[in-house]
Amino acid sequence: MVPEAYNNPANTAKFSNFISEPDQKLPHIQGFDNEPLVSLEEAVKPLESIVPQVDRMVYTGKTNANHQKTSR
């Protein structure tokens, strides 16, 4: 038996909104070609004062990325 909430489009929209994404390739962000490549931890340092727990988000993201890489 399917739960009633499953049939509600508002509850499933986040899983299917990729359909509205553009098919075209978007241009690169310009002006960063000559910037040095830095770690994710260093790149988010300017955000630490405005994004609560950004360091925790970085850790989670890197952990998930490493897990996906090793599980393939």
pLDDT score, position 49: 95
Residue 21 lies in a domain: no
pLDDT score, position 31: 84
pLDDT score, position 42: 96
Each residue's pLDDT tens digit, 1-47: 556 655 666 665 555 556 666 677 878 788 887 889 999 999 999 99
34 token code pair: 């000559």
Residue 56 lies in a domain: yes
pLDDT score, position 56: 96
Residue 25 three-state SS? coil
pLDDT score, position 24: 78
> What is the domain count for the chain?
1
Residue 13 lies in a domain: no
Q: Residue 52 pLDDT more than 70?
A: yes
Residue 43 lies in a domain: yes
Q: Which domain holds residue 42?
A: 37-65
- What is the distance between the alpha carbons of residues 68 and 55, in angstroms, rounded to a whole number? 20
